[in-house]
Structure 1
Amino acid sequence: MSTDNASQEPVKKKGGKLKLVLFSLILLGAGGGGTYGAFASGMLGHKAEKEDPNPQLLLKGEEDPYPFAADGKEKEAAEPVYGVGGGKYRTAYYDFTDDFTSNLAGDNALIQVSLAASTHYDGRVLMWLKEHETALRSRVLAELAATSEAELMSISGKEELQKRLTKGMNEVLNEREGFGGVDNVYFRSFIVQ
């Protein structure tokens, strides 16, 4: 038995040293990980600028950090058009690819419109308009169906519909992206029959 105890004692010492080495490595790793975490979070070293999650207004001539371009599979109308008017901010227009056709409220009349939306914000709004076009189309069709023919016979009625469409599009984008960004909706064509 004395030989068994003698042979086991060095093993215990080696196991103890192994545990000490492993424990040291764990502490060094945790320390290094903590240091990395401090650098990554900006607590140590150079603080990285955080990107604003919301689109930014773009001044005329300012380069868009999120350039938007149609992927070539869609009609040319899907490409943005940039306005050159007298405002301070750049205006970009998004043309919806298809017309909107709906029954009007309380009538046997139909409406068919072709729409464009404008924004003064960066290209993310244009990307979102394209990405969520199905949800936006649904909202536009609901707004058209809630409109009567009598409301559309005056200019003020058409302007009110534009405001409702703009508000509806911003609500859809807010639900999906946390930011609207549509400044106005325009009629490219407008037919009631």
Structure 2
Amino acid sequence: MADSNNAEQQADEAPKKGGKMKKVIMLVLGITLVGGVSAAGGFYFAGGAAEQGPKKPELPKLVLKDGTEVESDSTKSATIDPKELQVTYHQMENAFTTNLYGGGFAQAEIAVSTPYDKRVIDAIEEHDIAVRSAIVMKLAAGDSATLETLDGKKAMAGELKEVINETLREKTGFGGVDQVYFTKFVVQ
């Protein structure tokens, strides 16, 4: 009889343990489900990472002579007369001195202009080393016979504008230099 009482007690206890365990598992699953749904809902309503992608940098704006700023990629900017734009000039610090292709050397002091807001000049100053390196490399590719002529200097100014803008685009996503000026130029 004692064996049958023990067997009955064990049979009664087994379902109780299983019942408690089921409740704990169901509670944990319920909490997990609610947390997962809440997180997914928050992620969905926040826009999700896949939809956001990389943020587009805020581009410099064209500046009119009256100080009004115009988005550089707007349709209005395409219809603006260049004479209406405010031009900002920036003198590069220190002269550029380099050997020239085929012999000789050149020394130049350079200034740039832009019709855009101060962010272009700020970018030139921030990335001064990269911009200066690009300028020196381009000057070094020139030859003294060409750089001694007016047409050669004009061509070099155009090429320098391109390498400066290329460097700025690599570093900031936007160029913005409109002209390059030689404030001093010596070729020997």
Code of the residue aligned with 2:87 in structure 1: it is: T
Pick one of 83, 89, 112 that aligns with 1:87.
Answer: 83
Pick one of 42, 45, 48 that aligns with 1:39.
Answer: 45
Identity %: 33
Which residue in the other structure is 2:61 paired with? Answer: 57
**What is the DSSP-based 3-state SS (H/G/I as helix, E as strand, rest coil) of the residue aligned with 1:55?**
coil
Q: Which runs of 5+ in 1 are unaligned?
A: 43-47, 65-85
More helix by percentage: 2
Per-residue deviation, 1:93: 3.1
Distance (Å, rounded) in 2 between the aligned partners of 1:51 and 1:89: 28
Q: Which runs of 5+ in 2 are unaligned?
A: 1-5, 71-81
Runs in 1 of length 4+ with deviation above 6 angstroms? Answer: none
String of CA shifts for 1:135-167, please: whole Å, max 9, x gaps: 221111111111122222222211111100011
Which residue in the other structure is 2:169 paired with? Answer: 174
1:112 aligns with 2:116: no
Which residue in the other structure is 1:145 paired with? Answer: 140
> Does the 8 Å CA contact 2:57/2:173 hold for their aligned counterparts?
no
Per-residue deviation, 1:103: 1.4
Which residue in the other structure is 1:188 paired with? Answer: 183
Q: How does 1:115-126 map to 2 (within 5 A)?
A: 115-126=110-121
**What is the DSSP-based 3-state SS (H/G/I as helix, E as strand, rest coil) of the residue aligned with 1:168?**
helix
Aligned length: 166
How high is the TM-score relative to the length of structure 2? 0.72
* CA spacing shift, 1:152–1:31, aligned 2, 3 Å: same
Which residue in the other structure is 1:73 paired with? Answer: none
> Does the 8 Å CA contact 1:116/1:188 hold for their aligned counterparts?
yes
> Does the 8 Å CA contact 2:103/2:143 hold for their aligned counterparts?
yes
1:19 aligns with 2:15: no
Shifted more, 94-103 versus 114-123: the winner is 114-123
* Cα-Cα RMSD: 3.0
In our comparison, the structure showing a higher alpha carbon Rg is 2
Distance (Å, rounded) in 1 between the aligned partners of 2:61 and 2:88: 11
**What is the DSSP-based 3-state SS (H/G/I as helix, E as strand, rest coil) of the residue aligned with 1:105?**
coil
